[in-house]
Amino acid sequence: MTDLVHLTQQGDVAVITINNLPVNALGPGVIEGLAQALRQAEADKRASAVVIIGGGRTFVAGADIHEFQRVMSGEAPRTEGLLSLLPAIEACTKPVVMAIHGNAFGGGLELALAGHYRVATPDAQVGQPEVKLGLIPGAGGTQRLPRLAGVALAVEMCATGNPISAAQALKAGILDRLIEGDLLAGAIAFAREVIGKPRPKARDRSEKLGTPETNAPIFAAARDAAQKKQRGWKSPQVAIELVEAATRLPFEEGLKLEQARFRECLFSDQSKALVHVFFGEREVAKVPDIPKETPALPVNSVGVVGAGTMGGGIAMVFANAGIPVLLREVDQAALDRGMANIQKNYATSVQRGRFTQQFVEERLRLIKPTLAFDSFADVDMVVEAVFEGMALKKEVFAQLDKVCRPGAILASNTSTLSIDEIASATARPDAVIGTHFFSPANVMRLLEIVRGKATGKQTIATCMQVAKRVGKVGVLVGNCRGFVGNRMFHPYRREAQFLVEEGANPEAVDQALYDFGMAMGALATGDLAGLDVGWRIRKEYRHLERPGVRQPLTEDRLCEMGRYGQKTGAGWYKYDEKRRAIPDPEVTQLVRRWAAEAGIEQRKITPAEIVDRCIFALVNEGARILEEGIALRAVDIDIIYLNGYGFPAYRGGPMWYADTVGLKKVYGRICEFRERHGELWDPAPLLQQLAETGGTFAAFRKPQTAAA
């Protein structure tokens, strides 16, 4: 037996413990160990029943995802032994009881479903999350689960990947009993109760499989929901097909089909991208020069300066995590407005069933409005979210530096300004950092954590921890204009506008990007955020523009006409009272006229060109960011784009997408654009180098690790 699986004897019950920490993934060694332990337990005359349990904090979180990352097209993953282990468990002549705590996910739930009985702690969860990795359950989950839980629940679990609680699983028949108190003792007691009783196998059951008539609307609704909520993802549709197959085919045939589809998914680009995202979300939390052990400061209270769009949302973020917040404004009217907005947002959450009224009342009690800075004397951290302007930010930071206790962290939510310059207004630059939340702050998962030249490691470690605690994906970035996300977004939106000025309709540009998988088209995004925001910034920075370099014409002119986007009922599109976008032929006509005046040649533009121009503009800027060390790794850029900019997860993020297309091809296309459109398309030196040497962004690491 391997070290990963232990067999012990507790009276007449054999206990098999899986010890592959941290999450008991079914990697190589575990499956073999389980098979061997089972054979021994079967042969051991002292044992009349078998309990399988997980050591550490969980039962089994599934197959080892590293295995899937390793396999190349056609190869068998080293988890395939699971397929022969599960029938061996079913065939065991002694009852096998699965004892679940923590999670039984993916292959972990499939392992449990092969047992004759399942018991669990009340706080356990079970699920088939494979679709989130672009996969489907590949060890019988799509065939056994509907037989135990019924078609409707099984299809929902397999297609959405969302877990259910132990209580729900008990009600659905996935579990046989919840165990309060010691799980192992309860499981052994349960096992003794079933000695000599029948050993039910999920594969033999059919009473919950429904009829074609009852099932048809369930599958139609599941397909519809998957199309809407997981647009562009292939695996949910495949998972639905497989659960449907379970209702039509004999068990073994269903299993064969599941295997064939599992392998197709495994070797798909979507699965490779989503596995990259799974590990990426965990990798961004790891900063090479700030080890896990770096002491972080306790953050038990927070001050937020400014109760506008962002400040209000940020206050909610902390309150939702149970952290008391002091919210400061300049005058009572602004404070009342800010608090009213917070209350309105919470009321909407209650209406939508996201929060209970009681939860909201508790959160609101945690947010204390104030006009006085003095009350900030005791807070552990401050997030500043006043208007975007350096003079004001410096004034606020100088004040905060005086009022706040030594050691308190001072963070700015600025989206464009230099953290170093802001820090220079204080005597504690090591405690100054950027925490760039995305709008709406209480909804968007992304938090760019901006490291200034002087920002201390403890300050960074604390903010990374705080991000996790408040449910955000914190990504550390370097200090430059626009940091990572907005800096890349600028050329992306520039190209979208150029394309309209060269002959594409606004709706054609947005449709091509939407079809690529973006949550929204680039122009519609501008309308949502407000075209005036960029217009004001451009007016301020006009003196920095290089003469002779092409600039987009349209958005400034739309703003001059009062078309700021959704907030004024018109921008690139017109908006009805429900803020639905309506294409506006007037805009297209105006752009044609402005383009003619500027001598811009008009031509027919394909959706493929739209995607290449916009997405490769992102990639080219991303390559510069990587080379400069503003992002630590390409995956950090990918995670930023997935969580902050609506980039489709199944494409893995812009840098992963470029690697998938092939950097040689991307570089070639960018050179074509350079030829046609000039210096804005100068290829990033790193892209050129990787294209010429056959490298990838994913493997690239800047020699010195610290972000700029």
Applying CB under 6 A, the residues found at the interface with ligand NAI are: 305-311, 328-330, 334, 385-388, 392, 396, 413-415, 439
Nearest residue to ligand 3HC, using CB? Answer: 106
Instruction: Pick out residues in 459-498 that bind ligand 3HC (CB under 6 A).
Output: none
User: Residue 9's beta-bridge partner residues?
Assistant: 14
Among ligand 3HC, ligand NAI, none, the one that 603 touches (CB under a kind-dependent 5 to 8 A) is none
Candidates 64, 380, 495, 612; binder of ligand 3HC (CB under 6 A) is: 64
Candidates 126-134, 485-493, 641-649, 655-663: pick the segment binding ligand 3HC (CB under 6 A).
126-134
Instruction: Give the 3-state secondary structure of residue 63.
Output: strand
CB of 329 to ligand NAI, least distance (A): 5
> What length does the chain have?
708
Binding mask 133-162 for ligand 3HC (x = CB under 6 A): x-x-xxx-x---------------------
Q: Are 565 and 571 in contact (CB under 8 A)?
A: yes
CB of 107 to ligand NAI, least distance (A): 40
Is it true that the peptide bond before 129 is cis, omega within 30 degrees of 0? no
Active-site entry in 130, 258, 384, 502: 130
Among ligand NAI, ligand 3HC, none, the one that 421 touches (CB under a kind-dependent 5 to 8 A) is none
Binding mask 277-316 for ligand 3HC (x = CB under 6 A): --x--x----------------------------------
Instruction: Give the 3-state secondary structure of residue 35.
Output: helix
* 239 vs 233: CA distance, rounded Å: 11
The tokens for 164 are 């259910």
Among ligand 3HC, ligand NAI, none, the one that 64 touches (CB under a kind-dependent 5 to 8 A) is ligand 3HC
Instruction: Give the 3-state secondary structure of residue 433.
Output: strand
CB of 307 to ligand NAI, least distance (A): 6
User: How far does Cα 123 stand from its chain's mean position?
Assistant: 24
Q: Are 274 and 336 in contact (CB under 8 A)?
A: no
* 402 vs 406: CA distance, rounded Å: 9
Total binding residues toward ligand 3HC, as defined by CB under 6 A: 25
What strands lie across the sheet with 13-18, from one edge to the other?
A: 5-10, 13-18, 49-54, 96-100, 117-120, 177-178
CB of 530 to ligand NAI, least distance (A): 8
Q: According to the binding rule CB under 6 A, does residue 450 interact with ligand 3HC?
A: no
C-alpha dihedral (460, 462, 466, 467), degrees to nearest 10: 20
CB of 305 to ligand NAI, least distance (A): 5
* 281 vs 291: CA distance, rounded Å: 17
Nearer of residues 419 and 496 to ligand NAI, judged by Cβ: 419
Antiparallel, parallel or unpaired: β 13-18 and 177-178: unpaired
User: How far does Cα 373 stand from its chain's mean position?
Assistant: 36
Nearer of residues 6 and 445 to ligand NAI, judged by Cβ: 445
Terminal alpha carbon distance of the chain: 49
CB of 522 to ligand NAI, least distance (A): 16
Antiparallel, parallel or unpaired: β 381-384 and 302-305: parallel
CB of 417 to ligand NAI, least distance (A): 7
Among ligand 3HC, ligand NAI, none, the one that 328 touches (CB under a kind-dependent 5 to 8 A) is ligand NAI
Nearer of residues 61 and 98 to ligand 3HC, judged by Cβ: 61
CB of 351 to ligand NAI, least distance (A): 23
Antiparallel, parallel or unpaired: β 13-18 and 5-10: antiparallel
Q: According to the binding rule CB under 6 A, does residue 129 interact with ligand 3HC?
A: yes
Instruction: Supply φ then ψ for residue 62, to 5 degrees.
Output: 120, -175
Q: Are 194 and 116 in contact (CB under 8 A)?
A: yes
Antiparallel, parallel or unpaired: β 446-451 and 573-575: unpaired
* 604 vs 591: CA distance, rounded Å: 15
Q: According to the binding rule CB under 6 A, does residue 274 interact with ligand 3HC?
A: no
CB of 492 to ligand NAI, least distance (A): 17
* 442 vs 270: CA distance, rounded Å: 29
Q: Is 560 a catalytic residue?
A: no
Nearer of residues 295 and 387 to ligand NAI, judged by Cβ: 387
CB of 30 to ligand 3HC, least distance (A): 11
Q: According to the binding rule CB under 6 A, does residue 258 interact with ligand 3HC?
A: no
Rama region for 629: left / alpha / beta (φ>0; ψ in -120 to 50; rest) = left
Instruction: Supply φ then ψ for residue 27, to 5 degrees.
Output: -85, 180
Q: Is 540 a catalytic residue?
A: no
Among ligand 3HC, ligand NAI, none, the one that 396 touches (CB under a kind-dependent 5 to 8 A) is ligand NAI
Instruction: Supply φ then ψ for residue 94, to 5 degrees.
Output: -115, 145
* 432 vs 418: CA distance, rounded Å: 11
Nearest one of 413, 406, 448 to 431, comparing CA atoms: 406
Nearest residue to ligand NAI, using CB? Answer: 308
The tokens for 683 are 């290829």
Nearer of residues 30 and 386 to ligand NAI, judged by Cβ: 386
Active-site entry in 67, 90, 110, 555: 110
Nearer of residues 20 and 413 to ligand NAI, judged by Cβ: 413
Please, is 594 exposed, middle or buried when counting C-beta atoms within 10 Å of its C-beta (0-12, 13-18, 19+)?
middle
Candidates 98, 116, 119, 130; binder of ligand 3HC (CB under 6 A) is: 130
CB of 271 to ligand 3HC, least distance (A): 10
Nearer of residues 175 and 342 to ligand NAI, judged by Cβ: 342
* 505 vs 523: CA distance, rounded Å: 11
Among ligand NAI, ligand 3HC, none, the one that 63 touches (CB under a kind-dependent 5 to 8 A) is ligand 3HC
Candidates 47, 50, 51, 62; binder of ligand 3HC (CB under 6 A) is: 62
* 152 vs 218: CA distance, rounded Å: 6
Instruction: Pick out residues in 83-122 that bind ligand 3HC (CB under 6 A).
Output: 103, 105-107, 110
DSSP code for 599? T
Nearer of residues 49 and 422 to ligand NAI, judged by Cβ: 422
Among ligand NAI, ligand 3HC, none, the one that 22 touches (CB under a kind-dependent 5 to 8 A) is ligand 3HC
Nearer of residues 209 and 392 to ligand NAI, judged by Cβ: 392
The kind and range of the H/E element at 119 are strand 117-120
Residues with catalytic annotation?
110, 130
The residues that touch ligand 3HC, with contacts defined as CB under 6 A, are 22-23, 25, 61-66, 79, 103, 105-107, 110, 129-130, 133, 135, 137-139, 141, 279, 282
